[in-house]
Amino acid sequence: MRQPSKTRELVLTALAAAVISLLAPLSVPLPFTPVPISLASFAVVLCSACLGFWRGTVGTLVYIAVGLVGLPVFAGFTGGADKLFGPTGGYIVGFVFCAAATGWLVDRAPGKVWLYPVAMVAGSLLCYAFGSLWLGMQMHLSFGQALLAGVVPFLPGDAGKIVVACLVAYPIRQRLEKGGFLSAEGAAK
């Protein structure tokens, strides 16, 4: 298997940032919570499972940086520091933890399909925790109230996103590895 070049590594990482930036703005606001239904979490777990810890995490950081400077890549085609530091900003920052956990776990055993949903659930739990803590602080809610506003309504949809991400990520990752685009060393840098 050939070693991925630095250029290939940069391209794959940029691809992760691009996929997240394209899917994350697609959202549906809900009247009872500041947290919208969004494809951001789907994009983060998908990219991290396909590309691994390093590329998924850095791609997520690039996505956040792009949104921070004002490009409309956050939910609802928004961007800027006010969005990142507002009530839902904790979920955006939580995507970094989600990407890291998902990618790290999948990198440990990329050929084990059962690990993909476990990794994605673990990553999502970290995002939920960080986002709910931030939402609670911003809106003066208890942690339980923040979970009810920012997590519970989204559990069925997030479960569906994880199922679809698993069905897509596993074959993509297998093809990338078989084609020499990923290596264990490059994924776990």
Each domain of the chain, given as residue ranges in start order, spans 6-182
The pLDDT confidence band at residue 110, using thresholds 50, 70 and 90, is confident
**Quick one: what percent of the chain has pLDDT higher than 90?**
89
Q: Which residues contact residue 170 at a Cβ distance below 8 angstroms, ignoring those fewer than 6 apart?
A: 49, 113, 116
Q: How far is CA 163 from CA 12, 97, 117, 136, 168, in A?
A: 23, 20, 7, 29, 9
* CATH, domain 6-182, list 1.10.1740.10, 1.10.167.10, 1.10.1760.20, 1.10.287.1080: 1.10.1760.20
- Average pLDDT estimate for 162-185: 89
113-141 residue pLDDT tens: 999 999 999 999 999 999 999 999 999 99
Rounded Cα gap, residues 38 and 64, in angstroms: 15
**Three-class SS state of 16:** helix
pLDDT digits (tens, 9 = 90+) for 15-45: 999 999 999 999 999 999 999 999 999 999 9
